[in-house]
Protein backbone atom coordinates (compact mmCIF):
# COMPACT_ATOMS: atom_id res chain seq x y z
CA UNK A 1 0.00 0.00 0.00
CA UNK A 2 1.26 3.46 -0.86
CA UNK A 3 1.93 5.94 1.87
CA UNK A 4 -0.27 8.92 2.36
CA UNK A 5 0.79 12.52 2.66
CA UNK A 6 0.79 13.91 6.22
CA UNK A 7 -2.19 16.24 5.68
CA UNK A 8 -5.21 16.68 7.97
CA UNK A 9 -8.47 15.29 6.49
CA UNK A 10 -10.30 18.54 5.83
CA UNK A 11 -12.37 19.75 2.90
CA UNK A 12 -9.85 22.48 2.12
CA UNK A 13 -6.97 19.97 2.07
CA UNK A 14 -9.01 17.73 -0.26
CA UNK A 15 -9.54 20.57 -2.74
CA UNK A 16 -5.85 21.51 -2.64
CA UNK A 17 -4.78 17.91 -3.18
CA UNK A 18 -7.16 17.49 -6.12
CA UNK A 19 -5.77 20.65 -7.75
CA UNK A 20 -2.21 19.48 -7.15
CA UNK A 21 -3.02 16.02 -8.52
CA UNK A 22 -4.44 17.58 -11.68
CA UNK A 23 -1.26 19.67 -12.02
CA UNK A 24 0.93 16.58 -11.46
CA UNK A 25 -1.01 14.57 -14.04
CA UNK A 26 -0.60 17.34 -16.60
CA UNK A 27 3.12 17.51 -15.79
CA UNK A 28 3.40 13.74 -16.16
CA UNK A 29 1.75 13.88 -19.59
CA UNK A 30 4.09 16.68 -20.72
CA UNK A 31 7.15 14.81 -19.48
CA UNK A 32 5.95 11.66 -21.23
CA UNK A 33 5.65 13.57 -24.52
CA UNK A 34 9.09 15.10 -23.98
CA UNK A 35 10.54 11.62 -23.40
CA UNK A 36 8.95 10.34 -26.61
CA UNK A 37 10.30 13.30 -28.60
CA UNK A 38 13.76 12.82 -27.10
CA UNK A 39 13.65 9.14 -28.04
CA UNK A 40 12.79 10.06 -31.62
CA UNK A 41 15.57 12.67 -31.71
CA UNK A 42 18.09 10.18 -30.29
CA UNK A 43 17.22 7.68 -33.03
CA UNK A 44 17.68 10.32 -35.74
CA UNK A 45 20.92 11.57 -34.19
CA UNK A 46 22.21 8.00 -33.87
CA UNK A 47 21.70 7.45 -37.61
CA UNK A 48 23.56 10.66 -38.40
CA UNK A 49 26.34 9.72 -35.98
CA UNK A 50 26.82 6.28 -37.55
CA UNK A 51 27.01 7.72 -41.08
CA UNK A 52 29.51 10.39 -40.01
CA UNK A 53 31.58 7.82 -38.14
CA UNK A 54 31.88 5.59 -41.22
CA UNK A 55 32.74 8.58 -43.42
CA UNK A 56 35.30 9.82 -40.88
CA UNK A 57 36.95 6.39 -40.68
CA UNK A 58 37.37 6.31 -44.46
CA UNK A 59 38.70 9.87 -44.58
CA UNK A 60 41.14 9.25 -41.73
CA UNK A 61 42.51 6.20 -43.56
CA UNK A 62 42.90 8.16 -46.80
CA UNK A 63 44.44 11.20 -45.09
CA UNK A 64 47.00 9.14 -43.19
CA UNK A 65 47.80 7.15 -46.33
CA UNK A 66 48.65 10.36 -48.20
CA UNK A 67 50.46 11.75 -45.19
CA UNK A 68 52.70 8.69 -45.09
CA UNK A 69 53.41 8.94 -48.84
CA UNK A 70 54.23 12.64 -48.51
CA UNK A 71 56.39 11.92 -45.49
CA UNK A 72 58.36 9.32 -47.45
CA UNK A 73 58.77 11.54 -50.54
CA UNK A 74 59.58 14.85 -48.85
CA UNK A 75 61.03 13.82 -45.54
CA UNK A 76 60.10 15.00 -42.08
CA UNK A 77 62.13 18.21 -42.17
CA UNK A 78 60.87 19.40 -45.58
CA UNK A 79 57.29 18.53 -44.63
CA UNK A 80 57.64 20.57 -41.46
CA UNK A 81 59.18 23.54 -43.31
CA UNK A 82 56.52 23.47 -46.04
CA UNK A 83 53.75 23.57 -43.47
CA UNK A 84 55.19 26.39 -41.36
CA UNK A 85 53.80 29.39 -43.22
CA UNK A 86 50.46 27.93 -44.19
CA UNK A 87 47.22 29.32 -42.85
CA UNK A 88 44.56 26.94 -41.56
CA UNK A 89 42.55 25.34 -44.35
CA UNK A 90 39.45 24.84 -42.20
CA UNK A 91 37.20 27.51 -40.77
CA UNK A 92 35.24 26.42 -37.71
CA UNK A 93 32.37 28.26 -36.02
CA UNK A 94 30.84 26.94 -32.82
CA UNK A 95 27.45 28.28 -31.76
CA UNK A 96 25.24 27.16 -28.89
CA UNK A 97 22.13 25.23 -29.88
CA UNK A 98 19.17 24.08 -27.82
CA UNK A 99 16.52 21.53 -28.62
CA UNK A 100 13.89 20.39 -26.07
CA UNK A 101 15.98 21.90 -23.27
CA UNK A 102 19.14 20.07 -24.37
CA UNK A 103 22.02 22.42 -25.07
CA UNK A 104 24.84 21.33 -27.34
CA UNK A 105 27.27 23.10 -29.67
CA UNK A 106 26.42 23.51 -33.33
CA UNK A 107 29.69 23.18 -35.21
CA UNK A 108 29.93 24.69 -38.67
CA UNK A 109 33.16 23.73 -40.39
CA UNK A 110 34.00 24.77 -43.91
CA UNK A 111 36.94 24.42 -46.20
CA UNK A 112 38.93 27.48 -47.10
CA UNK A 113 40.78 27.70 -50.39
CA UNK A 114 44.17 26.04 -50.16
CA UNK A 115 47.03 28.46 -50.05
CA UNK A 116 49.60 27.91 -52.81
CA UNK A 117 52.94 26.49 -51.75
CA UNK A 118 56.33 26.99 -53.29
CA UNK A 119 57.27 24.41 -55.92
CA UNK A 120 60.69 24.03 -54.39
CA UNK A 121 61.08 20.81 -52.33
CA UNK A 122 57.39 19.97 -52.52
CA UNK A 123 55.67 17.09 -54.21
CA UNK A 124 52.21 16.63 -55.76
CA UNK A 125 51.37 14.32 -52.89
CA UNK A 126 51.73 17.30 -50.52
CA UNK A 127 48.72 19.03 -52.10
CA UNK A 128 46.69 15.83 -52.14
CA UNK A 129 47.54 15.24 -48.47
CA UNK A 130 46.38 18.77 -47.61
CA UNK A 131 43.07 18.19 -49.38
CA UNK A 132 42.43 14.90 -47.58
CA UNK A 133 43.44 16.35 -44.20
CA UNK A 134 41.08 19.29 -44.75
CA UNK A 135 38.19 16.99 -45.65
CA UNK A 136 38.98 14.85 -42.62
CA UNK A 137 38.99 17.86 -40.28
CA UNK A 138 35.59 19.04 -41.56
CA UNK A 139 33.99 15.62 -41.08
CA UNK A 140 35.60 15.16 -37.65
CA UNK A 141 34.15 18.52 -36.55
CA UNK A 142 30.68 17.37 -37.66
CA UNK A 143 31.23 14.03 -35.93
CA UNK A 144 32.15 15.82 -32.70
CA UNK A 145 28.93 17.83 -32.85
CA UNK A 146 26.86 14.69 -33.47
CA UNK A 147 28.55 12.79 -30.63
CA UNK A 148 28.13 15.58 -28.08
CA UNK A 149 24.50 16.12 -29.10
CA UNK A 150 23.80 12.39 -28.88
CA UNK A 151 25.40 12.06 -25.45
CA UNK A 152 23.54 15.07 -24.04
CA UNK A 153 20.23 13.94 -25.52
CA UNK A 154 20.67 10.50 -23.97
CA UNK A 155 21.43 12.06 -20.58
CA UNK A 156 18.34 14.27 -20.82
CA UNK A 157 16.24 11.28 -21.89
CA UNK A 158 17.41 9.31 -18.82
CA UNK A 159 16.60 12.23 -16.51
CA UNK A 160 13.17 12.64 -18.07
CA UNK A 161 12.50 8.91 -17.75
CA UNK A 162 13.40 9.04 -14.04
CA UNK A 163 11.04 11.97 -13.52
CA UNK A 164 8.22 10.24 -15.39
CA UNK A 165 8.70 7.08 -13.32
CA UNK A 166 8.86 9.06 -10.07
CA UNK A 167 5.58 10.79 -10.88
CA UNK A 168 3.87 7.65 -12.15
CA UNK A 169 4.92 5.18 -9.47
CA UNK A 170 5.61 7.32 -6.41
CA UNK A 171 4.19 10.83 -6.26
CA UNK A 172 0.83 10.50 -8.05
CA UNK A 173 -0.14 7.30 -6.15
CA UNK A 174 0.63 9.04 -2.83
CA UNK A 175 -1.65 11.93 -3.77
CA UNK A 176 -4.38 9.55 -4.92
CA UNK A 177 -4.13 7.56 -1.66
CA UNK A 178 -4.30 10.77 0.37
CA UNK A 179 -7.34 11.99 -1.58
CA UNK A 180 -9.04 8.63 -1.16
CA UNK A 181 -8.31 8.66 2.60
CA UNK A 182 -9.63 12.19 3.03
CA UNK A 183 -12.79 11.40 1.04
CA UNK A 184 -13.49 8.33 3.18
CA UNK A 185 -12.83 10.29 6.38
CA UNK A 186 -15.16 13.11 5.30
CA UNK A 187 -17.91 10.64 4.32
CA UNK A 188 -17.81 9.08 7.79
Tell which wins on pLDDT, 134 or 118.
134
For residue 4, tell me if it sits in a domain: no
**pLDDT for position 78:** 86
**pLDDT for position 158:** 96
For residue 87, tell me if it sits in a domain: yes
For residue 2, tell me if it sits in a domain: no
Number of independent structural domains in the chain: 1
185: CB partners within 8 A, 6+ apart: 9
Instruction: Indicate whether this model's pTM tops 0.75.
Output: yes
Q: What pLDDT digit, counting tens, does each position of 94-125 carry?
A: 999 998 888 999 999 999 988 877 666 778 88
For residue 79, tell me if it sits in a domain: yes
The two most distant CA atoms of the chain are separated, in Å, by 101
Mean pLDDT score, 116-144 = 87
CATH number at residue 148: 1.10.287.3240
Q: Whole domain around residue 165: which residue ranges?
A: 11-187
Amino acid sequence: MTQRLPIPPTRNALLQLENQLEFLTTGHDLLERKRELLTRMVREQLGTYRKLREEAAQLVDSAYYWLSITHMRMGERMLHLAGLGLEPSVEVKILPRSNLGVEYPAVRAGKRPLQPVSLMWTDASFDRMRIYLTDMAVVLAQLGEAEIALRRMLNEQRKTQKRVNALKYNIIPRYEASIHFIQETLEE
